[in-house]
Structure formats: structure tokens, C-alpha cells
Amino acid sequence: MAIKCKAKAEGGAVEVKVLMKHEMETGLRKDSKTGEPIPAHHITEVTCLHNGSEIFHCNMGPAISKNPYLAFTVSGPAAGDTLVINSVDNKGETDTGETAVS
């Protein structure tokens, strides 16, 4: 997994854009060569932290497309502050991305 993110302050709010590199397998597809089911492997939750406090949280499931893109708006952070994006998948794998608010 890999997380790329950007955050831009405008008018008292911060727009955060996140791109997560992940296969997002549903567990419903079969391998075309073997016919065996491909195990489920998808992101289950994403959080955004500002100064160690969670300011955004979402749950995801297998119906989300490969390499999901997520955009949301939060209030509180200011230009120059750092936001940390964390993700966890159904196999317990984690990833982190970080961005400064511009």
C-alpha cells in the first residue's frame, strides 16, 4: 500500500485529497488460470489525524474500487500544520501518509 495526500486551506476549511494504492480484492473473483477464489484484501478504515487527534474517520469495504481516491473537508487545521492519514486493511496491514496544509 502507499498513500499520497494533499491538503489545502481555503476560507476556514481544509480540503484533503487522498490517493491510496491498494488492490481492493472483494473475495468474489476467481483466478482465471486456476479457478480458485482470490482472497479478500481491502481497506477497512481510514483516519486523518491533526496534532494527534482524529479529525476524520471512515469505514470502507470490498465494494470500493482499486486504488481508492478519497476527498473530504475538515475545519481546524491551518496552513503549515501537518495531517497524518492512516489506513488499515482486512489483513491487518497498515499504511501512513503525511502532508502539510498549504
Report domain extents, the chain: 2-100
Q: What is the sign of the dihedral through the CA atoms of 32, 37, 39 and 44?
A: positive
pLDDT digit string (tens) for 17-60?
Answer: 999 999 999 999 999 999 999 999 999 999 999 999 999 999 99
pLDDT tens digit string along 53-79?
999 999 999 999 999 999 999 998 999
Contact 90, 42 (CB under 8 A): yes
Which CATH architecture is the domain 2-100 placed in?
A: Sandwich (2.60)
Distance (Å, whole) CA 31 – CA 13 = 45
The rounded distance, in Å, linking the Cα atoms of 91 and 24 is 11
